[in-house]
């Protein structure tokens, strides 16, 4: 579904991604793990058109989307649930969800809206509440639901557990597993490496803007380097 080939990204004169190549097959959950600043989020942003690739190609369902605008990439079928949630704070929960479907031109948005309310009952309770007044966990659920309202074929999650209590982190992990069971393809960046590897069919380990290791989620969970550096046991 998604092929990233020899991707390079620079911020000014500093290159932060050095020839990264990854693949995501339809129906998979693929995780990118590694330390802060390793290049995971920059890779996601290049895929979504939020930063410019200086070289390399990004192909989605056979179509070259390298350096296309973000709104065209959303229309192509990719949506991101961004780091830090980034809900529209002064808009209500309901308005945020409708914004997720902004690029759609079908007449089934009300059906999907009801499905999101059923999937996340707390959003029904809070539907007329300003999104900025929701708890961190509630905002994360809203950000996930807003992304799903676009009916994406590829869902990208950037640090979905960031800043959340352990109980809410477990709920987020269960939600991502549920979304995969719905048939969605998932690309996940997650600082909680153990959770990411448990969710992932395959994973890539980033260090200093490069991929240094790849394999199944199970293989990386037991790899000595990953265990020592990222799993804490």
pLDDT band at 233 (very low <50, low <70, confident <90, very high): low
Domain count, the chain: 2
Considering the domain boundaries, does residue 82 fall inside one?
Answer: no
CATH number of the domain at 186, please. 3.40.50.300
Considering the domain boundaries, does residue 83 fall inside one?
Answer: no
Q: What are 13-37's pLDDT values in tens digits?
A: 999 999 999 999 999 999 999 998 9
Q: Is the pTM of this model over 0.75?
A: yes
Sheet of 2-11, strands arranged across: 14-24, 2-11, 53-60, 63-64
Average pLDDT, the chain: 94
Choose the final residue of a domain: 151, 181, 196.
151
What percentage of residues in the chain have a pLDDT greater than 90?
Answer: 88
> Which residue has better confidence, 228 or 157?
157
pLDDT confidence of residue 228 = 87
Question: Residues 69, 159: one domain?
Answer: yes
Question: Residues 112, 140: one domain?
Answer: yes
Range of the domain at 105: 91-151
Question: Residues 16, 128: one domain?
Answer: no
DSSP character string of the chain:
-EEEEEEEEEETTEEEEEEEEEEE-TT-EEEEEESTTSSHHHHHHHHTTSS-EEEEEEEETTEE-TT--HHHHHHHTEEEE-TT----TTSBHHHHHHHHTTT--SS-HHHHHHHHHHH-HHHHHTTTSBGGGS-HHHHHHHHHHHHHTT--SEEEEESTTTT--HHHHHHHHHHHHHHHHTT-EEEEE-S-HHHHHHH-SEEEEEETTEEEEEEEHHHHHT-HHHIIIII--
Question: Residues 102, 164: one domain?
Answer: no
By CB neighbour count within 10 A (0-12 exposed, 13-18 middle, 19+ buried), where does 85 fall? buried
Question: Residues 61, 99: one domain?
Answer: no
Considering the domain boundaries, does residue 86 fall inside one?
Answer: no
């Amino acid at each position: 579904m998604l092929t990233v080939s020899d991707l390079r990204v620079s911020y000014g004169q500093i290159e932060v991604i050095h020839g990264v190549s990854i693949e995501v097959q339809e129906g998979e959950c693929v995780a990118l793990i590694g330390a802060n600043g390793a290049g995971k989020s920059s890779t996601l942003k290049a895929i979504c058109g939020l930063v410019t690739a200086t070289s390399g190609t990004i192909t989605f369902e056979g179509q070259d989307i390298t350096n296309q605008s973000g709104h065209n990439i959303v229309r192509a079928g990719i949506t991101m649930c961004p780091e830090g949630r980034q809900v529209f704070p002064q808009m209500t929960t309901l308005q945020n969800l409708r914004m997720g479907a902004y690029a759609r031109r079908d007449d089934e948005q009300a059906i999907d809206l009801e499905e999101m309310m059923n999937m996340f009952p707390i959003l029904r309770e809070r539907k007329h509440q300003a999104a900025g007044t929701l708890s961190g966990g509630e905002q994360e659920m809203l950000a996930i639901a807003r992304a799903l309202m676009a009916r994406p074929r590829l869902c990208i999650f950037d640090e979905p557990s960031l800043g959340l209590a352990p109980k809410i982190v477990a709920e987020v992990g269960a939600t991502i597993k549920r979304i995969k069971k719905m048939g969605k393809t998932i690309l996940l960046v997650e600082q909680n490496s153990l959770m990411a590897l448990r969710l992932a069919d395959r994973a890539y380990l980033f260090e200093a803007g490069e991929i240094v290791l790849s394999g199944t989620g199970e293989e990386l969970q037991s790899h000595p380097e990953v265990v020592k550096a990222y799993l804490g046991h």
